[in-house]
Amino acid sequence: MSAALKQKKVGLTGNSAVAYAMMQIDPDVVPAYPITPSTTIIEEFSSYHADGKVTGELITVESEHSAMSASVGAAAAGARVMTATSAQGLALMWEVLYIASGMRLPIIMPIVNRALSAPINIHCDHSDSMGARDSGWIQLYAETVQEAYDNTIMAVRIAEESDVLLPIMSCQDGFITSHAIECLELIEDKDVKDFVGEYVPKDTLLDVDNPVTMGAMALPEFYMEFKRDQSNAMTRAKDAVSKISAEFAETFGREYGLFESYKLDDADVAIVVLSSAAGTTKVAIDKLRAEGKKVGLLRPRLYRPWPHAEIAEALKNVKVVCVLDRADSMNDFGGPLFGDVRSALFDLDTAPKVFGRIFGLGGRDYKVVDAEGVIGELYKVLETGKIEQLNRYITI
């Protein structure tokens, strides 16, 4: 690894860090309709805009549906586009999410995860972005403020990779990460701009010398070919995430992969969990490791596309796995992450036993004692060889 470029340490919330990264990136267009708990991303970015620290256009619109519609229009015209949202805002964008991905527009959208209504709740769970997991958007999930900042910068390069060209959601936990102040290292403005580079769109509606049609009708004779090409691009996104993350590590000294493994090499049992809850789980793991328990953690960073082969390889020697979901698929079979992990492990010759637990909905606290309880369940399955309940709620 080469020497990392100069950086400065500061204390910022997750939202402030993302807004700062957006200012450094200086996108061409930011359509905005704020919603809790992502509001301060747009508030702070609008302050940078008012102070003349960005050169792009900030468009205030009448709804989140309009924000994504304006994003699609601007991206189709060849602009580098960013916006941000949460919860019901993301749900109101639903129709247009599929248009953005189907038209292969590399829009970057920080998501501050928040529970979907009803009942109304402004706190964290993953029901919003998990509902959009199959909309054709790449999804990254951050554990810390530092990672939320870094992911925002890397997301630009990933989305705009020439053989990918797909929109991307960069997720962090509402209030837990978005409003918590952590110490992080900020990259110099020039170095961020050098890393993301200039966006050169492949096709644009405004290139009159090379006219294109976007969003046209595709009848049965052609529609599947469009979807196949889009699916292939999503498959290629996995390698793009690996490549750009490696370049980021080489340049700035912070390493990120498709997922994080924590004390997993010799683990008998393991927990799989996304985002900020991984930090709480690590505390419990450290405590039980001191007592001789061989427990580890796998934290997916990339969730779409799903790095199923790499995750199966990482967990192949573990005997029992518990997957913790901060969302429920309402399918009588657990949460979305559970289904994907169990499927990834299915074809292993000696697949681990896998069960799921749903936790922390609507911002319910997930504490070290809760992680210890899950680890206790893991060891009970290890000792008996039986899973008494495949899925259930905890932290209630």
pLDDT (tens digit, 9 = 90+) per residue, 305-346? 999 999 999 999 999 999 999 999 999 999 999 999 999 999
Which position has the higher pLDDT, 2 or 351?
351
Which position has the higher pLDDT, 216 or 263?
263
Is the peptide bond prior to 305 cis by the omega test (within 30 degrees of 0)? yes
Q: What is the mean pLDDT of residues 205-218?
A: 92
Summary mean pLDDT of the chain = 97
30 in helix, strand or coil?
strand
What count of other Cβ atoms lies within 10 Å of the Cβ of residue 331? 10
pLDDT classification of 135: cutoffs 50, 70, 90: very high
pLDDT over threshold 70, residue 2: no
pLDDT at 150: 98
Q: Which of 60, 122, 119, 62 is nearest to 86 (CA)?
A: 122
Cα–Cα–Cα angle for 198, 201, 206, rounded to 5 degrees: 120
Phi, psi of 247 (to 5 degrees): -65, -40
Distance CA 194, CA 32 (A): 26
Is the peptide bond prior to 106 cis by the omega test (within 30 degrees of 0)? no
pLDDT at 312: 98
pLDDT at 1: 44
Q: What is the mean pLDDT of residues 241-247?
A: 98
Would you give the distance in Å from CA 93 to the centre of its chain?
17
Distance CA 350, CA 232 (A): 30
What's the pLDDT tens digit per position in 47-58? 999 999 999 999
pLDDT at 5: 85
pLDDT at 215: 87
pLDDT classification of 3: cutoffs 50, 70, 90: low
Q: Which of 105, 82, 99 is nearest to 27 (CA)?
A: 82
**Domains in the chain, please, with CATH?**
8-252 (3.40.50.970), 260-393 (3.40.50.920)
Distance CA 310, CA 294 (A): 21
Instruction: Using alpha carbons, list the distances in angstroms from residue 59 to 33, 62, 95, 152.
Output: 9, 10, 20, 20
pLDDT over threshold 60, residue 23: yes
Which position has the higher pLDDT, 224 or 215?
224
Please give the share of the chain, as a percent, with pLDDT higher than 90: 97
Is the peptide bond prior to 119 cis by the omega test (within 30 degrees of 0)? yes
Which position has the higher pLDDT, 3 or 279?
279
Contacts 24+ apart (CB under 8 A), 362-366: 362/115, 362/121, 362/123, 362/124, 362/125, 363/115, 363/121, 363/122, 363/123, 363/124, 363/125, 363/174, 363/175, 363/176, 364/395, 364/396, 365/395, 366/277, 366/280, 366/395
Q: Give this prediction's pTM.
A: 0.98
Question: First CA to last CA across the chain, in angstroms?
Answer: 46
Instruction: Using alpha carbons, list the distances in angstroms from residue 236 to 132, 165, 239.
Output: 20, 10, 6
